[in-house]
Amino acid sequence: MKLQFDDVLRNLDVLLWGAWNTLFLSASAGFCGVAFAIVLCWVRTFENKPASTAIACYVELIRNTPFLVQAFFVFFGFPSIGLRLKPDHAAMLVMSINVSAYATEILRGGIEAIEKGYTEAAKSVGLSNSQTFFYVVLPPATQSVYPSLVSQFILLLLGSSVLSSISASELTSAANDLQNKNFKTSETYLVAAGIYLAMSTSVALFLRSLESALFPFARTRRNA
């Protein structure tokens, strides 16, 4: 087999446009998903059993069903209740829902690792449950699980490729359109795979480099 990349490289802008949309969708969904996960973890601090049970069921439901099935349910199922979403909007919603469940479980592990002495000290000075959670518990918990959150975001970015099945504007969808025109299947998907590799590696390095800025006292505590 002789690979010929000329036609693919001439249309590289099509793939780069898809890559940019992939980054935008992933970043937007990642932010919304982690924000929602923080809210869910905060609700759990009130020790309301029905609410905690509902959150646990939500997490298990999302984590134990295929991402593609979730995408189909949102894109094809929501219109039956009168909610018709554009492909990109449906993609962002399902990505946000998916990552929120995983981030909730990751953050829960970090929160449970916090020594009870921190919360007892916070309550002894009169902080409310919400103040204790957001000012005392959440920062060190997030710091301890930050690498796991970064890994989860990379999985989200790479997993977005299945959203081409609902016509979302992302890299795999752009690659599908391009290879339908040039019939260079191997060449097109090899270039797309290279772009995914470059994206995931660059994003991982960037997010890990932010750790010292987000948690300026992390290194000091490790060295103490």
- The CATH number given to whatever domain includes residue 19 is 1.10.3720.10
Q: How far apart are CA 144 and CA 166, in angstroms?
A: 36
Question: What is the domain extent for residue 179?
Answer: 6-223
Please give the angle made by the CA atoms of 68, 60 and 58, to the nearest 5 degrees: 90
Q: What is the pLDDT of residue 115?
A: 87
110: nearest Cα among 148, 155, 53: 148
* 115 phi, psi to nearest 5 deg: -65, 140
163: nearest Cα among 74, 83, 101: 74
Q: What is the pLDDT of residue 106?
A: 96
> Averaged over 144-157, what is the pLDDT?
95
> Averaged over 129-149, what is the pLDDT?
92
Q: Indicate whether 216 belongs to any domain.
A: yes
Q: Which of 31-35, 105-109, 122-126 has the lowest mean pLDDT?
A: 122-126
Quickly tell me which residue has 């009870």 as its tokens. 116
* For the chain, percent of residues with pLDDT exceeding 70: 96
Q: What is the pLDDT of residue 1?
A: 64
Q: Indicate whether 51 belongs to any domain.
A: yes
Q: Compute the chain's Rg from CA coordinates.
A: 21
156: nearest Cα among 20, 29, 16: 29
Structure tokens at 78: 């929501």
Q: Indicate whether 113 belongs to any domain.
A: yes
Q: How far apart are CA 199 and CA 129, in angstroms?
A: 40
Q: pLDDT tens-digit profile of 90-116?
A: 999 999 999 999 999 999 999 998 888
Q: What is the pLDDT of residue 123?
A: 82
- Report which residue type is found at 104: T
Q: Indicate whether 62 belongs to any domain.
A: yes
| Residues with Cβ within 8 Å of residue 129, at least 6 apart in sequence | 45, 46
Q: What is the pLDDT of residue 129?
A: 85
Instruction: Indicate the number of domains in the chain.
Output: 1
pTM attached to this predicted model = 0.90
Q: How far apart are CA 183 and CA 24, in angstroms?
A: 28
Q: pLDDT tens-digit profile of 202-221?
A: 999 999 999 888 887 554 44
Q: Indicate whether 34 belongs to any domain.
A: yes
CB distance 22 to 171 below 8 Å: yes
CB distance 114 to 135 below 8 Å: no
Q: pLDDT tens-digit profile of 168-213?
A: 999 999 999 999 998 889 999 999 999 999 999 999 999 999 988 8
Q: Indicate whether 1 belongs to any domain.
A: no
- Whether the per-residue pLDDT at 162 is higher than 50: the answer is yes
- Whether the per-residue pLDDT at 222 is higher than 70: the answer is no
Q: What is the pLDDT of residue 45?
A: 84
Q: What is the pLDDT of residue 211?
A: 85
| Mean of all residue pLDDT scores within the chain | 91
